[in-house]
Amino acid sequence: MADNAKTPTDAPPVAGRQIDKPALLAKYQAERDKRLRPDGNAQYLRVSGHLAHYLEDPYTPRVERAPKTDHVTFAFVGGGFAGLVTGARLVEAGVKDVRIIEKAGDFGGTWYWNRYPGAQCDTASMVYMPLLEETGHRPSEKYAHAPEILEQCRRIGRQFGLYENAVFHTEVESIVWDEAEARWVICTNRGDRFTASYIGLGTGPLHVPKLPGISGIESFKGHSFHTSRWDYDYTGGDPGGAPLAKLADKRVAIIGTGATAVQCVPHLAKACGELYVFQRTPSSVDVRANVPIDADWFASIATPGWQQRWLENFTANQGGFAEEDLVQDGWTDLSRRVRAKLQQMPHDRRSPKDLWAAFEDADFEKMEEIRARVDSIVQDRETAQKLKAWYRQLCKRPCFHDSYLQAFNTPGAHLVDTDGQGVERITEKGLVVGGREYEVDCIIYASGFEVGTSYERRSGFDLVGRDGLRLSEAWAEGMQSKHGIHVHGFPNAFFVQPTQGANLISNVPHNLTEAGRTIATVIRHALDNGAKEVEVTKEAQDEWVALLLTGMGRMIGSPDCTPGYYNNEGQDPGPAARLNVGYPAGAAAYFRYLDGWRNDGKFEGLAFR
C-alpha cells in the first residue's frame, strides 16, 4: 500500500487503526491495471477438437440405448438443480411424463462433474440444498461436501420418479417449434427425435470447462486434467476425502486460485511430493467455520415450512434489512456490517451516496480483515504478501476456507505468483514463469468455466421458435423475457436461471426452486383449461424489461474491478449486458411479487390459447 496518502478523518477503524481509503483505492487500481489484457475472454481455449478429451466423463460408462421417437408432456434440458426442482414440482402438479435430457451420466449438474477433493458448497446447506423438507434429508454439515449434494440430487430424482424417463449421456442438437402440431421437436446426439408439449431449459451458467490460452499447452508430455473431470485413477483417493495416495512421489502443478483451487489445494498439499500453485490473482479467503449439524437442533427447527422460512431469511439478509440472521455466514456478514452502519446514520442522511459510502466502508474493513488473516496464518512473509487480495470483496467470487492458507505452510507446497501475468509458457516438461521452468509430472487446470460466451454456444444449440425465430436473433441486443422465464416467440418454453428474475447470486438454487414452482403452476393452469399454447405477450415482456432498467444496474461486474468472469475480464461487455440484471426492488421483493403473480390465477402477461 502506498504510504504517502493522507488518512481521511472519516476513515473507518480496523482493529484500532484507521484505513487509508485513497491509498487502498490506488493500490486496487494498480493491481487491476496490471491484469487488464486486450484479449479478454478470447484468452481462454475452447475445449473441443483435439482438446475434447478434457471433456470426457471419467465417472460413468456410456450405456447404449435405442433412440427415442415418442412424445412427452414436458422435456427439460439439464439434469442439475434446475431440472430436478422443476421436474419435482411438475410431478407434484400431476405431470407424470417429464423427460430430463442430460449430457452427464446421472443427475447432479455441476455436482455431477465437480468431484474434486474437498468440493463443498459455499452457501449454507440449509438454504443451498434444494427440497430438503420434501425429501426429509438433514444436511450433515453447515456446508455439505459434494458427495452428499450429489446424493441429494439422486434422491430427488428417485423420489419424484424422474429417472424413469430421463436420458443420460445425451446432448441436444436442436429443438424446433412445430407450429402445426403446437409442440417442440427435439433431436439429440444419440439419434433421438421425439416431441414435447412443453420444454424447460436449465443448462446452467458454469458447465463448459475452459482452459487457459497458454502457449505450448498442447506440448506438455506429462499427465493433465481439468478439475471438473478429476482423474482419481491417477491421483488415488476419492471424492469422499480418501488421501490422494498416488501423488506421494509426484510433482504437481495446479493453475488457478479461484473457488475450486481454494477447496482442492489443501488436499493436494497434503498428498503431493511437490505442489506448485500457479497464481495470477489471489482469492479473498474468509473464515469457513464449518460445523456438523446436530440432529436434535435440526429436529427442533425443522417444523413445517422450515426451509422456505430459511430461504426467505437468507435472501432478506442479502438485501440488508432483515431483523434476524438465521444462517450467520460470510455472505450475510457484509450485509450485517452495512446494516449496522446505516443504523448509525440519521434518517435524513441516507441518500444513495451515503448508502454507497456505508457499503464501501464495510467492504474496506472486511477486506482489511481478510488480508490480516493471511498474515496471521501464513508463516512465510513473502508468500503471505502474495496471497493478499487487493480488490473489493464482490469484485471476484468471495471464498471461504479454513485450511487453504494453512496449506502454504506445508513443506513441499509452493506458491508461484505470476504478478498478475499468468503462466508464460508450457513446455514438454512443465511450466515457465519469470524465465524459470518448473518441471512437473502433472498439470491440473483449475481454470474455470465459460461465462461471457453466448447462451447458445454454452447450451450447444440455438432454440428455434415461432416462424423460425432463433433465440440468438431474439436476444441479439440482449436478453428479453418476463421473469427470466418466459420469452416471446417461444411458446411453451420456460427458462430456469436467475437473470431478469431475482438474480440472487449468493444462493442460486433459490432462484431455481421459485422458477420451478412457477412453471408447474402455469402448466397446471394450461392443462386444466385445455390450452395448447402459453406464451408471454410482446407488450408484457417489453414492460418487464423496461421495469428492470429502472433499477440500479448490476451489483457485480463493475468495470473498476480486477478482471474476472464477474466483469467480462474487465472489458466493456457491450450494451446487451445492461439487461443482465434482476428485479429493481431486490431478490426478496421479487420472490414476494412472484408468489402473488402465480397465486392470483390471472398469470398477467401470459396468453393461453
Task: Please work out the total of residues on this chain that contact ligand NDP, with binding judged by CB under 6 A.
Answer: 27
Cα separation, 455 vs 185, whole angstroms: 20
Query: Which H or E run contains 542?
Result: helix 538-548
Given candidates 47, 124, 156, 261, which one binds ligand NDP under the rule CB under 6 A?
A: 261
Binding mask 173-202 vs ligand NDP (x if CB under 6 A, - otherwise)?
Answer: ------------------------------
- Report, in Å, the least distance between residue 137 CB and ligand NDP: 18
Which C-beta is closer to ligand NDP: that of 234 or that of 565? Answer: 565
Contact between residue 151 and residue 297 where contact means Cβ atoms under 8 Å apart: no
Scanning 159-167, 259-267, 356-364, 526-534 for contacts with ligand NDP by CB under 6 A, the matching segment is 259-267
Nearest-angstrom CA–CA distance, 375 and 289: 19
CB atoms within 10 A of CB 469: 16
Q: How far is the CB of 153 from ligand NDP (least distance, A)?
A: 15
CB of 99 to ligand NDP, least distance (A): 28
Phi-psi group of 528: left, alpha or beta (phi > 0 → left; psi -120 to 50 → alpha; rest → beta): alpha
Binding status of residue 255 toward ligand NDP by CB under 6 A? yes
Q: In the bound complex, what is the minimum distance in angstroms from residue 278's beta carbon to ligand NDP?
A: 5
Helices (H), 288-387: 295-301, 306-319, 330-344, 352-377, 381-386
- Take residue 545 and report the three cell numbers written for it: 424489461
CB of 395 to ligand NDP, least distance (A): 10
Nearest to 522 by CA among 99, 198, 181: 198
Shortest reach from residue 422's CB to ligand NDP, in Å: 3
Q: Is the dihedral of CA 374, 380, 381, 386 positive or negative?
A: negative
Tell me how far, at minimum, the Cβ of 260 lies from ligand NDP, in Å. 3
Instruction: Give me the count of residues in the chain.
Output: 609
Count Cβ atoms below 10 Å from residue 435 Cβ, excluding itself: 7
Beta bridge pairs of residue 438: 431
Q: Which is nearer to ligand NDP, 206 or 334 (CB)?
A: 206
How many CB atoms sit inside 10 A of residue 223's CB? 15
The residue (of 130 and 422) whose beta carbon lies closer to ligand NDP is: 422
Residue type, 496: V
User: Which of the residues 102 through 121 are near ligand NDP (CB under 6 A)?
Assistant: 120-121
Q: Are strands 285-286 and 534-536 parallel, antiparallel or unpaired?
A: unpaired
Consecutive H or E run containing 399: strand 399-400
DSSP secondary structure string, 251-272?
EEEEE--SHHHHHHHHHHHHH-
Instruction: Decide whether 259 or 519 has the Cβ nearer to ligand NDP.
Output: 259
Looking at residue 193, the DSSP 8-state letter turns out to be E
What mask, x for binding ligand NDP by CB under 6 A, covers residues 525 to 564? ---------------------------------------x
Quick one: 157 or 563, whose CB is closer to ligand NDP? 563
User: Least distance in Å: CB of 397 to ligand NDP?
Assistant: 3
* Residue placing its CB nearer to ligand NDP in the complex, 209 or 605: 209
Nearer to ligand NDP by Cβ, of 73 and 257: the residue is 257
CB of 81 to ligand NDP, least distance (A): 12
Q: What share of the chain is helix, strand, coil (3-state, %, to 5)?
A: 40, 15, 45
Cell match 473489493: residue? 392
Tell me how far CA of residue 52 lies from CA of 64, 228, 255, in angstroms: 21, 13, 19
Residue 433 host element (H or E): strand 430-433
Grid cell at residue 132: 430438503
Q: How far is the CB of 103 from ligand NDP (least distance, A)?
A: 18
* Per-residue x/- track, 412-451, ligand NDP (CB under 6 A): ------x---xx----------------------xxxx--
Chosen residue from 257, 480, 513, 541 binding ligand NDP by CB under 6 A = 257
What element of type H or E holds 438? strand 436-439
Residue 565 lies near ligand NDP (rule: CB under 6 A): yes
Q: Which is nearer to ligand NDP, 418 or 558 (CB)?
A: 418
- Burial label for 221, CB within 10 Å (0-12, 13-18, 19+), is exposed
Instruction: Provide the minimum distance between the beta carbon of 255 and ligand NDP in the complex, in angstroms, as a whole number.
Output: 5
Q: Which is nearer to ligand NDP, 491 or 564 (CB)?
A: 564
Examine residue 330 and tell whether it contacts ligand NDP (CB under 6 A): no
Residues in 213-252 that interact with ligand NDP by CB under 6 A: 214
567 is a contact residue toward ligand NDP (CB under 6 A): no
Is position 256 an interface residue for ligand NDP (rule: CB under 6 A)?
yes
Cβ neighbors of 58 (< 8 A, separation 6 or more) are 225, 229, 230, 231, 232, 233
122 binds ligand NDP (CB under 6 A): yes
Signed CA dihedral, 593, 599, 604, 605: sign only:
positive
Q: Which of 108, 212, 266, 489 binds ligand NDP (CB under 6 A)?
A: 212
In the complex, least distance from residue 257 CB atom to ligand NDP, rounded to whole angstroms: 4
- The secondary element (H helix, E strand) that includes residue 190 is none
HSE-CB at 510 with a 13 A cutoff on CA atoms is 30
The 3-class secondary structure across 239-255, one letter per residue, is CCCCCCHHHCCCEEEEE
Closest distance of CB 399 from ligand NDP, Å: 8
Which three-class secondary structure state does DSSP give residue 196?
A: strand
Candidate list 229, 337, 397, 483; residue touching ligand NDP; CB under 6 A: 397
Q: Quote the CA–CA distance of 135 and 342 in Å, as a whole number.
A: 40
Q: How far is the CB of 274 from ligand NDP (least distance, A)?
A: 18
Min CB(116)–ligand NDP separation in Å: 8
In the complex, the smallest distance separating the C-beta of residue 329 from ligand NDP, rounded to whole angstroms, is 12
Pick between residue 86 and residue 506 the one whose CB is nearest to ligand NDP. 506
Chain center to CA of 368:
26
**Applying CB under 6 A, which of residues 194, 234, 278, 495 lies at the interface with ligand NDP?**
278
Q: Of 152, 165, 224, 281, which one interacts with ligand NDP (CB under 6 A)? A: 281
Using alpha carbons, list the distances in angstroms from residue 61 to 47, 57, 106, 173, 244: 21, 8, 11, 21, 23
Q: Closer to ligand NDP at the Cβ: 31 or 514? A: 31
Q: Which stretch binds ligand NDP (CB under 6 A): 246-254, 276-284, 303-311, 584-592?
A: 276-284
Q: Which residues here bind ligand NDP, judged by CB under 6 A?
A: 120-122, 206, 212, 214, 255-261, 263, 278, 280-281, 397, 418, 422-423, 446-449, 564-565
